[in-house]
Amino acid sequence: MATGIKDKVAIIGMGCSRFGERWDVGTPALLAEAFEEALADSGIERKQIGAAWYGSCMDAVNVGNSAIPASMALRLDGIPVSRVENMCATGTEALRGAAYAVASGAVDFALAVGAEKLKDTGYGGLPPPFKGTFNDLWMPLGSAPAGFAQLAAGYRAKYGVSREDLKRALAHVSWKSHENGVLSPKAHLRKKVSMEQILNAPMIADPLGLFDCCGVSDGAAAAIVTTPEIARALGRRDMVTIKAIQLAIGSGVESATTQWDGSHVRTTRTAAGRAYAEAGITNPREQLSLMEVHDCFSITELVTMEDLGVSADGRAVHDVLDGFYDRQGHGVPCQVDGGLKCFGHPIGASGLRMAYEIYNQLQGRAGERQLDNPSYGLTHNLGGVPYLGIAAISILGLHA
């Protein structure tokens, strides 16, 4: 009988590079930046790492296939290193691999590291993906914002929300993240913006404007995990353990049957249900202290609030506008570090960057952003598009 991963894995070290337009460094240096911080934080030595998972997504502008570039960059000589790729959920996928390795007893210490070098494309936004020889023959090549913007049409149709009301709520989502990003020293975008700026920005994919879209960044993040027993033996206090990691992948139900209405992300709901069960969370609106969700676009964050069961269906617009997700809004603060929106989105690193913020908040190390006594934090990392995607959810908490 499966018992899940709750409290079987402790995070003892995390690191995160400065995100942004890192014209100064390549991927190996970004990996090293995150790795060194994580290693120093963990208190272990490089040679104690028994296995590693390296996450990266876009081969065309990074270091290429396989785990070899990561092994070379970090000199992980001789140990098993796996490269994982699950689109924008890659970072959480790397953490899952490392966590399972420790939980299985295969190794004492495992490394999860993710990196992306998106600013080598020569233009803003993500490069258009290859969809496979078959899909390329029929599937439209819409951009990432076009994939998520459709949620707005579906959401409005389902709940009868006017375009103006939705736009205002979406603008608040981005406004709030910019307010938070200012307080994140490693964030890509650290500038406040006004609601007017957001609402009047050029259109990217209707109704999403420029400020409804997250930053596309260079960056890396890393985690070192072990068992709680070993962590305790190493003298760790305020230990952060993994309460749940769940993935749900679309199988075509949304995109090819009538079982989806376009207003939500089905895979997030599935993964959240399993993650809450694994972690023992029964009332996320009350029990979660903070969330770092996949706000690739403002509409994604808005519907995610409902998909995670924190807002009731159809109520996210009101909760957002009421400030429930603001850092000092007395609800469940969301994107305290600025989120993908402002901290940035180097794809392979993002899931680990989310965990980095939760990890630091739980240990009271979040500086100016520090929340009062957080106990549970959730990361939500979404790959692909709402109707064909990968939802990856982790829940981290202080070890009892």
Partner 1 sequence: MTATRNYGITGFGAYIPRLRMERAAIAAAHKWMAPSLRSLAKGQRAFGSWDEDSVTMAVEAARDALRGSQARSLNALHLASTTVPFDDMQNSAIVASALNAPPEVATLDIGSSQRAATSGLLAALASGRGHQLFVASDRPRGKPASVQEIGYGAGAAALTLGAEGVIAEVLGSASRSALFVDHFRSADADYDYVWEERWIRDEGYMKIVPATARAALSDAGVSPAEVKHFVMPSPLKGMASALARKLELPDGCEADDLNEDCGFTGSAHPLLMLAGVLEKAAPGEVILLVGFGQGCDSLVLRTTPALKDFAPLRGLSGSRADAQAHDAYLRMLSYDGGIDLEWGMRAEKAVKTALTEQYRSADQLANFTAGKCGCCGTIQFPQLPYCVNPACAAPREQFAQLSLADEPAKVLTHTADWLSYHPSPPLYVGFVQFDNGARLLMETVDVGAAGLEVGTPLRMVFRVKDIDKVRGYPRYFWKATPVQA
Can you tell me the distance from the alpha carbon of 313 to that of 315, in angstroms, rounded to the nearest whole number? 6
Tell whether residue 383 is a contact of partner 1 (CB under 8 A).
Answer: no
Return the range that interacts with partner 1 (CB under 8 A); candidates 39-47, 204-212, 239-247, 345-353: 204-212
Return the range that interacts with partner 1 (CB under 8 A); candidates 25-33, 95-103, 136-144, 342-350: 136-144
Please pick, among 178, 294, 345, 380, the residue that the annotation labels catalytic.
Answer: 345
DSSP string, 9-31: -EEEEEEEPPPB--TT--HHHHH
Instruction: Specify the residue, 134 or 235, whose C-beta has the smaller distance to partner 1.
Output: 134
x/- track of binding to partner 1 for residues 216-255 (CB under 8 A): -----------------------------------xxx-x
Q: Of 382, 156, 151, which Cα lies nearest the Cα of 264?
A: 151
Coil, helix or strand at residue 325: coil
For 111, 173, 266, 305, the CA distances from 93, given in Å and listed in that order, are 12, 26, 19, 22
Pick one of 146, 201, 230, 398: the residue that binds partner 1 (CB under 8 A): 146
DSSP string, 132-192: -TTGGGTS----HHHHHHHHHHHHHHHHT--HHHHHHHHHHHHHHHHHHHTT-TT-S----
Can you tell me the distance from the alpha carbon of 174 to that of 290, in angstroms, rounded to the nearest whole number? 17
Coil, helix or strand at residue 247: strand
Query: What interhelical angle do 163-181 and 144-159 show, nearest 10?
Result: 130
* Residues contacting residue 344 through CB under 8 Å, at least 6 positions apart: 19, 20, 187, 188, 189, 214, 215, 216, 217, 218, 219
Shortest Cβ distance from residue 371 to partner 1 (Å)?
35
Shortest Cβ distance from residue 189 to partner 1 (Å)?
18
Q: Of 180, 167, 143, which Cα lies nearest the Cα of 290?
A: 180
Coil, helix or strand at residue 79: coil
Instruction: Specify the residue, 156 or 380, whose C-beta has the smaller distance to partner 1.
Output: 156
Pick one of 141, 195, 233, 312: the residue that binds partner 1 (CB under 8 A): 141
Tell whether residue 150 is a contact of partner 1 (CB under 8 A).
Answer: yes
Coil, helix or strand at residue 66: coil
Instruction: Specify the residue, 46 or 131, whose C-beta has the smaller distance to partner 1.
Output: 131
Shortest Cβ distance from residue 140 to partner 1 (Å)?
4
Instruction: Specify the residue, 255 or 370, whose C-beta has the smaller distance to partner 1.
Output: 255
Instruction: Specify the residue, 68 or 139, whose C-beta has the smaller distance to partner 1.
Output: 139
Number of residues that bind partner 1 (CB under 8 A): 44
> Is 172 one of the catalytic residues?
no
> Is 88 one of the catalytic residues?
yes
x/- track of binding to partner 1 for residues 171-200 (CB under 8 A): ------------------------------
Return the range that interacts with partner 1 (CB under 8 A); candidates 103-111, 112-120, 126-134, 346-354: 126-134
Can you tell me the distance from the alpha carbon of 222 to that of 33, in angstroms, rounded to the nearest whole number? 9
List the structure tokens of 307. Answer: 């998909």
- HEC per residue, 202-243: CEEECCEEHHHECCCCEEEEEEEEECHHHHHHCCCCCCEEEE
Please pick, among 88, 213, 296, 334, the residue that the annotation labels catalytic.
Answer: 88
Pick one of 78, 137, 235, 237: the residue that binds partner 1 (CB under 8 A): 137
- Cross-strand pairs, 384: 389
Pick one of 16, 44, 205, 291: the residue that binds partner 1 (CB under 8 A): 205
Can you tell me the distance from the alpha carbon of 391 to that of 270, in angstroms, rounded to the nearest whole number? 8
Tell whether residue 134 is a contact of partner 1 (CB under 8 A).
Answer: yes
Return the range that interacts with partner 1 (CB under 8 A); candidates 69-77, 176-184, 203-211, 372-380: 203-211
Shortest Cβ distance from residue 274 to partner 1 (Å)?
15
Residues within the interface to partner 1 (CB under 8 A): 121-123, 125, 127-128, 130, 133-134, 136-146, 149-154, 156-157, 202-208, 251-253, 255-258, 262, 387
Active-site residue list: 88, 345
